[in-house]
Amino acid sequence: MKQAQNHTKNYLYAMAIDLDKCTGCGACMVACMSENNVPFRRDETDQLLSMKWLRVYKLTNGKAYPDHDVCYLPRPCMQCAGQHEGHSPCVSVCPATATDYDQNTGIVSQIYTRCFGCRYCMAACPYHVRLFNWWDPVWPEGMEKMLNPKVSVRMRGVVEKCSFCFHRFQQAKDRAYAKGKRDIDEQDYQTSCTQACPAGAITFGDLNNPSHAVTQLVKPDHKHHGRPQAPHAFRLLERLGTNAKVYYLSSREWVRKMGDNYLKNEKQAGSH
Amino acid sequence: MSTIDDQTTADVPQTPEDENGHPKHDPAPAADSNAPVMLSFIIGIVISLIIGWAVFPKLLYSQKTQPVNFNHAMHMDPEISAEGCASCHYFREDGSFSGIPKLASCAECHEDVLGESEEEARFVEEYVKTGKEVPWLVYARQPDCVFFSHIAHVKMGNMECKTCHGDIGVSTQTRVYEENRITGYSRDIWGKNIAGFKKNTWDRMKMDDCAECHKANNVNQGSVQTLRGGCFVCHK
């Protein structure tokens, strides 16, 4: 039993979202909330208080008709790797080791029982991904029986965020083990939002695997913190150096320029 | 507490004074006057220790008996359970673990009373005939935030069941299930020893026990923060 067991394969899970395909229908948000037992309120109109691991933003180019254009931008957790692997904005500030960067998967974890709710990570996150539970979740009667048993429910006073549906990775590993193998196929581990998107705008996979669709879509430059080399690919706030693992694709230049704070006539970072 | 005050006030007038009018300090009577204080202090410690080590654990854990007194040893007969533990505690096709068998598995053999045991007759009468699931108490139930993959350990890690669960296969009756009145978790998680000492690998099922083995075998040590096990390996 005491054999060397360092058989862990290094995955680097990432997501590419094609903003030209996204219609803003919100199916990804619904799928995410039901998959991850995200609590909701009777009145969800106050967006500041609503918990959404994945939020769809509406962008406009600010021009009058006929040049007016709209784009919807779904925003999950970016799973930042930072300038050196694991120096994610949130992970580096957490005093409780409640959030962590896993070198085996590239996923930023959040352990709710460890978190004591100081919310440093929320202040550090440049994407406003993290959410604080101001109340204990209350489910409409009978709905607590329909919660996903693979995801633990959070209590009042802790921070939560998108986990790239990590429980699905755990189950994918179990399925692979049942077949006697250790590697996980691309389709074995897909996030809930990816599968729910009716337009097929979201692509999810392992950046370390060149055959995965996400790698082919964004062509990451691993020597430069995974900077996308595909012509229409970009990341949010690229120049902050968060080394995010959620990539966006758009053929429209104004959308790509909205991904970061550019000066009026400045060229887009990493544009080709 | 009143004894201390009584002692000091009673002692003061009796203390002889020296030429300068200061009280003469005589070590022997002082030690005598401290004796009751020390004694009550020691008695206090002993009482606290007894409460902490013997009474409190008794109060902390409620004792529950399993709904059916199950005999593992009898079922481990190779003629009944050809595959050992996995005959009843098997893996499903998707790699998930079945855990404690459902009534349907038991009823495959116990449709009617097979032996002469009274307990079996009661089990058949109360559960099999009525189709009511047995409300087993799970000794090894972990908190909600814990993800544990049996297949990763048993099939891929070649571990034996008893490494974590003890040699349960030889038991002839179910033991008492002790539930922590505050947390609601089984005592098997914290361990029998209230001081936290551990003799066998199956004595405890706390996070440190998982981490200890993971570290020793270098499994999933991918955490950046702790340079040890990644949190999302065993948490969900």
CATH code, domain carrying A129: 3.30.70.20
Two structure tokens written together for A264: 């009026």
Q: Do B224 and A166 touch (CB under 8 A)?
A: no
Does any domain span residue A156? yes
Rounded to two decimals, what is the model's pTM?
A: 0.85
Model confidence pLDDT, tens digit, residues A196-234: 999 999 999 999 999 999 999 999 998 888 999 999 999
Nearest-by-Cβ selection for B149 from A101, A170, A182 = A170
Q: How far is B229 from chain A (nearest CA, A)?
A: 9
Does any domain span residue A249? no
The residue to which tokens 């409780």 are assigned: A96
**How far apart, in whole angstroms, are the C-alpha atoms of residue A144 and residue A30?**
17
Q: Which residues of chain A neighbour B232 with C-beta distances below 8 Å?
A: 100, 102, 105, 107, 109, 163, 166
Q: Which of A184-198, B2-16, B62-76 is predicted with the least confidence, judged by mean pLDDT?
A: B2-16
Q: Which residues of chain B neighbour A154 with C-beta distances below 8 Å?
A: none
Does any domain span residue A195? yes
Does any domain span residue A192? yes
In total, the C-beta contacts within 8 angstroms joining chain A to chain B are 117
The domain in which residue A166 lies consists of 13-210
Model confidence pLDDT, tens digit, residues B52-106: 888 988 899 999 999 999 999 999 988 888 888 999 999 999 999 999 999 999 9
- What 3-state DSSP class applies to A178? helix
Is A184 an 8 Å CB contact of chain B? no
Q: How far is B101 from chain A (nearest CA, A)?
A: 19
Q: Which residue has the higher pLDDT, B28 or A141?
A: A141
Is A95 an 8 Å CB contact of chain B? no
Q: Determine how β-strand A246-249 pairs with β-strand A13-18.
A: parallel
Count CA within 13 A, CB hemisphere, residue A265: 0
Does any domain span residue A143? yes
Q: What number is the ipTM of this complex?
A: 0.83
Per-residue pLDDT for A268 more than 80? no
Number of domains present in the structure of chain A: 1
Residue A252 phi/psi, 5-degree rounding, is -90, 130
Model confidence pLDDT, tens digit, residues A43-79: 888 888 889 999 999 999 999 999 999 999 999 999 9
The residue to which tokens 């590239």 are assigned: A106
Report the residue of chain A nearest B91, measured CA to CA.
Answer: A178
Burial zone of B213 (CB within 10 Å; 0-12 exposed, 13-18 middle, 19+ buried):
middle
Give me the percent of chain A exceeding a pLDDT of 70.
95
Nearest-by-Cβ selection for B220 from A86, A104, A166 = A104
Does any domain span residue A226? no
Q: What would the DSSP string read from start to end of A56-68?
A: EEEEE--PPTTS-
Q: How far is B148 from chain A (nearest CA, A)?
A: 9
> What radius of gyration do chain B's Cα atoms show?
29
Count CA within 13 A, CB hemisphere, residue A79: 26
Interface of B with A (CB under 8 A): 91-96, 143-145, 147, 149, 151-152, 155-159, 216-226, 230-233, 235-236
Q: Cβ–Cβ contacts within 10 Å for residue B65, how many?
A: 12
Q: Which residues of chain B neighbour A166 with C-beta distances below 8 Å?
A: 232, 236
Q: Do A171 and B94 touch (CB under 8 A)?
A: yes
Q: Which residues of chain B neighbour A177 with C-beta distances below 8 Å?
A: 95, 149, 151-152, 155-156
Of A8, A65, A1, A13, nearest in space to A202 by CA: A13
Count CA within 13 A, CB hemisphere, residue B204: 18
Q: How far is A88 from chain B (nearest CA, A)?
A: 10
